[in-house]
Amino acid sequence: MGLDIKIGVGFLNLVMVFDDQINLENDIQSAAFFNEGEVVILTNKGEVLLYNFHTKEHKDLFETNPGKGLQYSDGGFDPSADSSIYTLDNIIVVVNNYKRHGFVLNRKEHSLINLWREEYHADISRYPIALFKNEKDEPHLIFGVDWNQIQIANLTTRQVLTADKSLIEEDAEKKHIDFYKNYEEANKLFWPNEYDYFYGKLMMSPDKTKLLSAGWVWGSADCLNLYDVEDFISNHRIKDVTIGVWEHNNRAACFVDNETIAVLCNPCRDDEEDAVKDAPDDIRLFHADGQGEKCKIALQIPLDLSRAELFYHQMTQCFYTFSKEAGVAVISLNGEIVFHEPSFIPQQYDLCHNRFIRYDKKRLSIFKIE
């Protein structure tokens, strides 16, 4: 199967790599690439398995059934809920996106670790998860434990490197004093306050030295915060860089390079003062050091990207985006829509392997754009 879209003198094709009914008892709930020929699958009954789409065989990895492990007052991991799978070499992480539970499987160390976070607004805060390797090639997990707290653990030693990290920001005392120079302190509580930020979807910079959180703050408002990974491990206080704050629309964002972050925006949805009625969505590039907007990329053909995912493919220097409303689109840095297939709606895109994953009940499909 190939869908040809002409671009000047060339073509981009949406090419089907695999499409078949898998021999499973239960339906696919989530899937993610493990390596070039295998995907990890979570079923709606809680089985986690490794499927080889060349041999069409699968291996059982573990089950999320809480009856076979720890018991939780909220029932534990819900395999029928919206869930995500994250992989890095031999590491597989499976979490409920908007609930409290998950698992970390280290196939090399033969260990399965239960994850859980506190309940406060977990239903509207995506489970913060990210994976990276240090200079010794050791895998590390960044994971949420509460609405305003994440930890970093070495998955080789299982040591939580941030176990004694304070929940207080750098210069919190000075910020408190400076604030009340201009405002009456009516509520005489102890200060400084704990970090007032809801972590969200986590993204690593291309060089794996920076961490971006697509979270939110009270208002409520989308808030993109950036952290230096080494500083987050070594500094007892929290030091963040705010990339931007907008209306709470759960917008997508991604790294373009180590110093640039792309954000999906819409002047009308974001209630901008100079917004024109029915203004189209755009992509805005921001400095990673918090110095504000670099430039705005106006789309040459309007697309509804209100609920879209966003990725930047460095090889093609294009943005890859998809949603139920827009289908799949590839957008150049000058805003040209170089590929668009509105009828193709995948559930996942793997930037590392440049593959789209789509599943429906027991049917698994894998596509690439070339």
Condensed to tens digits (0 to 9), the pLDDT of residues 9-53 reads: 345 789 999 999 999 999 999 999 999 999 999 999 999 999 999
Question: What was the pLDDT predicted at 138?
Answer: 96
Say what the pLDDT of residue 1 is: 39
Q: What is the per-residue pLDDT for 247?
A: 96
Residue 309 has what pLDDT? 98
pLDDT of residue 185: 75
Instruction: Give whole-number Cα distances, 361 to 26, 112, 167, 288, 365, in Å.
Output: 8, 27, 43, 40, 11
Residue 275: the pLDDT is 84
- Residue 276 confidence (pLDDT): 85
The whole-number pLDDT of residue 257 equals: 97
- Single pTM value for the model: 0.94
Identify the pLDDT of residue 96. Answer: 98
Q: What pLDDT, on a 0 to 100 scale, did the predictor assign at position 66? A: 61
pLDDT at 2: 44
Residues 186-201 as b or e (16 or more Cβ within 10 Å = b) = eeeeeebeebebbbbb
> Which regions in the chain score pLDDT beneath 50?
1-10
DSSP annotation of 175: H
CA–CA gap between residue 134 and residue 358 (Å, rounded): 32
pLDDT of res. 7: 39
345-to-6, 20, 328 alpha-carbon distances in Å: 20, 17, 7
